[in-house]
Amino acid sequence: MTVVGRLLAIALLSQLFTCAVADEQDVRSGARIYLERCALCHGSKGLGEGPMALLIRDYPDTSLKNEVAPNRSIQKIVESGLISQPSGVSSPPWQHELVAAEISAVSAFVDIIRSDFEQAQRELASANVAPDRIDGRKIYRARCESCHGTTGQGDGRMSRVIVNPPPSDLTRSVLSHEESIEIISAGGAKLGRSPRMPPWGQELVYAELISVATYLATLRAAEAD
């Protein structure tokens, strides 16, 4: 190979490496934006298990593994939104809240959910999201309120059935923030507590676990007041 040929080959490899790094950064950024903006409806796994979908009766299927509008690209739906028929529930347009690069990144990430679900889950699990960017209260309402009650006093509707032992009064909890995260993730049995407390670590990503634990602290504070 001539010197010119070697230089061209090096330049091509360098360009391919730069594109690969950029793509990885886009997907990582897209996962973060997805958790902040989209998981409320679509769920932290992308399977339509978001708090809004769980809380509202007859909410449309928001699983991203389904083809909702095959005649429109993912990016166009993210930009201008989509109205679900016949429910009328809409996916909001993000073109006025996200810049073009963010729309491109989250669209690329949604494409990963559809094409390589396992990779998408790894990206979600490691996404660097500030806890205050995720609504722990809504997750609590969707996942925890039926047992622990609206104010965390253990008087949710399931407390009529779960009686031995009953759901914990979270307003009286003495667990540290880290211990709260651990028991939400691993469940009660693994930590020597009630075996009726389910593990949520497979359902929620770490940033969501932190957000729920942070919300639980506000229930204690409200009881103390």
Q: What's 115's domain CATH number?
A: 1.10.760.10
Decide if 173 contacts 187 (C-beta within 8 A): no
Residues 202 and 91 both lie in one domain:
no
134, 43 contact by CB (below 8 A) = no
Q: Using CA atoms, how far apart are residues 157 and 154, in angstroms rounded to an integer?
A: 9
118 and 144 fall within a common domain: no
Can you give the pLDDT at residue 58?
83
Is the per-residue pLDDT at 103 higher than 90? Answer: yes
Q: Of the residues 65, 95, 129, which one is the last residue of a structural domain?
A: 129
Q: Does 69 share its domain with 24?
A: yes
Whether residue 214 is found in the same domain as residue 166: yes
- Output the pLDDT for position 73: 84
From residue 133, alpha-carbon distances to 37, 38, 214 in Å are 9, 11, 12
What's the CA gap between 205 and 209, in Å, rounded? 6
- Tell me, what's the pLDDT at 194? 87
Please report the pLDDT score of residue 86 as a whole number: 57
Tell me the residue range of the domain where 99 lies.
Answer: 3-129
Q: How many domains does the chain have?
A: 2
- pTM (2 d.p.): 0.79
Q: Are 210 and 125 in contact (CB under 8 A)?
A: no
pLDDT tens figures, 47-100: 999 999 899 888 888 898 876 555 568 889 899 888 765 555 578 899 999 999
Residue 163: pLDDT above 70? yes
Q: What is the DSSP letter of 72?
A: S
pLDDT in tens, 117-152: 999 999 998 888 887 889 999 999 999 999 999 999
